[in-house]
């Protein structure tokens, strides 16, 4: 399943994602978070309340793909295993996509066709994907306006269009 959430700066995309994460987990699902850049991944994790050693971090899309390939090869952790039977923090576990997973991918407007194909190839049947972005921001550097075309044609595609971050009278 695939859905798109789009809107300009300050329209509530991150707040909406936080509500979706809470609802999905309350229903027994798992959530993985990713974004095209490290800064956006950190912002997404902070925005949905998923920071610290008890939560898997939001990853860059490249690191997500690397982690999923490592998991497919039988690995479960980033880096060396701890000794003395110590439990590893959840934050050090490799990402995992299952039929109970919702993958939220931020900055989706900058994802090109090759990156999107690589992602779809590693997603198992039943895994849900929510693409989040702003069609009016930077396009991808590579070939293909994947997010832009999906927003135009896909249902469900949700567009947030009321700026809520600041008052209209602020001039910002």
Give the pLDDT confidence score for residue 58 in this predicted structure. Answer: 95
Describe the crossing of helices 61-72 and 113-122 by its angle, rounded to 10 degrees: 30
Distance (Å, rounded) from C-alpha 93 to C-alpha 52?
13
**pTM greater than 0.75 (yes/no):** yes
Distance (Å, rounded) from C-alpha 130 to C-alpha 155?
12
Give the pLDDT confidence score for residue 172 in this predicted structure. Answer: 46
Give the pLDDT confidence score for residue 154 in this predicted structure. Answer: 74
Under DSSP, is residue 56 helix (H, G, I), strand (E, B) or coil? coil
Residue of 64 and 51 predicted with greater confidence? 64
Closest CA to 96 of 112, 78, 79: 78
Give the pLDDT confidence score for residue 170 in this predicted structure. Answer: 52
Whether residue 167 has pLDDT greater than 60: no
Contacts of 75 (CB under 8 A, 6+ apart): 94
Question: Stretch 13-19: mean pLDDT, rounded?
Answer: 94
């Amino acid at each position: 399943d695939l859905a798109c959430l789009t809107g300009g700066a300050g329209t509530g995309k991150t707040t909406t994602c936080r509500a979706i994460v809470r609802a999905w987990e309350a229903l027994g699902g798992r959530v993985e978070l990713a974004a095209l850049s490290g800064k956006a991944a950190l912002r997404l994790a902070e925005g949905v309340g998923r920071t610290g050693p008890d939560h898997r971090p939001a990853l860059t899309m490249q690191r997500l793909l690397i982690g999923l390939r490592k998991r497919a090869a039988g690995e479960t952790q980033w880096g060396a295993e701890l000794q003395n039977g110590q439990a590893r923090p959840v934050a050090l576990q490799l990402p995992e996509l299952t039929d109970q997973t919702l993958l939220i991918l931020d900055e989706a407007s900058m994802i090109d066709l090759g990156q999107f194909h690589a992602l779809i190839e590693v997603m198992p049947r039943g895994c849900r994907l929510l693409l989040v972005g702003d069609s009016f921001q930077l396009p991808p550097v590579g070939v293909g306006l994947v997010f832009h075309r999906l927003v135009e044609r896909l249902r469900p595609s949700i567009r947030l269009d009321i700026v809520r971050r600041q008052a209209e009278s602020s001039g910002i």
